[in-house]
Amino acid sequence: MRYSPIDTQFFINNRKRLVSELRPGSLAVFNSNDTMPTNADGTMPFRQNNDLFYLTGIEQEESILVICPGFREEKKREILFLRQPNEHLEKWYGHKLTKEEAKAISGIETVMWLQEFDAFFHHLVVMGNAENVYLNTNEHYRSEVVVQTRDARFIDWCKQRYPLHQYHRVAPIMSKLRVVKQKQEIDLIQKACDITEKGFRRVLKFTKPGVKEYEIEAEYAHEFIRHGSKGFAYTPIIASGKNNIVLHYIDNNQPCKTGDLILLDVAAEYANYNSDLTRTIPVSGKFTPRQKEVYNAVLRVQREAFKMLSPSVVYFDYQKEIEKIMERELLKLKLVTETEIKNQDPNNPAVRKYFYHGTSHMLGLDVHDVGNMHNQVQAGSVWTIEPGIYIKEEGFGIRLENNVLIGEKRNFDLMQNIPIEADEIESLMNS
């Protein structure tokens, strides 16, 4: 484990909060993610299902959590099923959790081996007064799942074997629980932000004309990993020149040229919690007057958004207000005219030619974290604020992004120590 252990009580409390949301006579099941293949016998790095991690702290593949609050035997109201260690696994893949280790991490008293699951699950379903079965699936608002997940296979298996039970979605409950962050989570996100800061400061010193985008990526990776992160929170975007008007440019294979800007949408994870930073810097260490003019316009919008994103605000209303602020900035920059605004299509306002994405999203175990974007923003949730202006005809774009903890009265910028002022960026690049 690269990160400091998370207090077991955190996972115990999360399970208690889940149980309080379940109907009487319920059973809930959470599966680990699959280990995904690449080619031949290759596999992608394993990443645990976030809901299972949130409830147990277990990061091992082929794990299952079953919660049956009404079961007669108290010690079996929570059961964690794990892959049983053996000599072959030890030789090829290293250490697998013992029952004692899993109990210490999760606080779950009863840990059983995976081969015992079918028989014991049948006992719980039939003898545990479990009329309501809660099953998990990915219901994220941006999900475009095209593979059958472990959860999806389990849903099919369960419904075929027990067709007369009442089935329910647990995803909305988990989404509700995960939106407001607890102190331990805020501390972990802050740690991810602090590691991201170290990477960004390293890159400011490293960047100069002639370096390749992938060399900058390597500088980030070095700094992130040496500070206990597993690496990038998401595929890094290191977009120089005309590439930085492309929102999800990830090739990172071009040389950085004198006079160009580099958009750096790169951040670290820590203990499975994510940060999400974007900065735009000049390759030569100094912005041109026009670049700085646009840069400062984006920064003003970001600061207005910081003040506006507050409890009781609904995201989509907030987005419309941000577009009005951006509209004023685009007028000053002479990118749009009063006539264009007057004659614009309300469903496709003129501002979207230069600002064509949302300003914010929730952040946590997922980079685009779970939660209903149509609900009011809640105090204790963590959001990004990331306005941008992308000018195809001038060959550059600028985006600035910080991570913000929403407060009852005022917000807290988790990235307040990361340089953002244009003058400070130039000073650090030239020092």
pLDDT in tens, 93-145: 899 999 999 999 999 999 999 999 999 999 999 877 789 999 999 988 887 77
Give pLDDT tens digits for 358-404: 999 999 999 999 999 999 999 999 999 999 999 999 999 999 999 99
Q: What is the pLDDT of residue 142?
A: 82
Helices (H) and strands (E) in the chain, counts: 13, 16
| Assigned CATH for 8-178 | 3.40.350.10
Residues 103, 109 contacting (CB under 8 angstroms) = yes
Q: In what side-by-side order are the strands of the sheet with 402-405?
A: 382-385, 402-405, 412-413
Q: What is the pLDDT of residue 219?
A: 98
- pLDDT tier at 32, thresholds 50, 70, 90: very high
Given a cut of 90, whether residue 1 has pLDDT beyond it is: no
Helix H or strand E segment including 82: strand 78-82
Give whole-number Cα distances, 262 to 56, 221, 269, in Å: 40, 17, 22
Residues 389, 287 contacting (CB under 8 angstroms) = no
For the segment 21-36, the average pLDDT, to the nearest whole number, is: 95
- Domains in the chain: boundaries: 8-178, 183-429
State both tokens at 193. Answer: 């932000």
Q: What is the pLDDT of residue 407?
A: 98
Q: What is the pLDDT of residue 101?
A: 98
Q: What is the pLDDT of residue 143?
A: 78
Q: What is the pLDDT of residue 127?
A: 78
For the segment 24-36, the average pLDDT, to the nearest whole number, is: 95
Give pLDDT tens digits for 277-287: 999 999 999 99
Burial of 336 (0-12, 13-18, 19+ CB in 10 A): buried
Give pLDDT tens digits for 181-234: 999 999 999 999 999 999 999 999 999 999 999 999 999 999 999 999 999 999
Q: From CA 49, how far away is CA 366, in angstroms rounded? A: 10
Q: From CA 206, how far away is CA 431, in angstroms rounded? A: 11
Q: What is the pLDDT of residue 8?
A: 98
> Which CATH number, 3.20.20.60, 3.90.230.10, 1.10.10.10, 3.20.20.10, labels domain 183-429?
3.90.230.10
Q: At what angle do helices 183-206 and 422-429 cross, to 10 degrees?
A: 50
Given a cut of 80, whether residue 163 has pLDDT beyond it is: yes
Instruction: Please give the residue that has the higher pLDDT: either 87 or 186.
Output: 186
Alpha-helical segments (H) within 337-410 = 338-342
Give pLDDT tens digits for 292-348: 999 999 999 999 999 999 998 999 999 999 999 999 999 999 999 999 999 999 889
- pLDDT tier at 147, thresholds 50, 70, 90: confident
Average pLDDT, the chain: 96
What's the whole-model pTM score?
0.96
3-state class (DSSP) for residue 29:
strand
Q: In this structure, how many other beta carbons lie within 10 angstroms of the beta carbon of residue 188?
A: 24
Identify which of 107, 10, 122, 143 has the alpha carbon closest to the alpha carbon of residue 68.
122
- pLDDT tier at 41, thresholds 50, 70, 90: confident
pLDDT > 70: percent of the chain: 100
User: Fold identical between 8-178 and 183-429?
Assistant: no
Residues 241, 260 contacting (CB under 8 angstroms) = yes
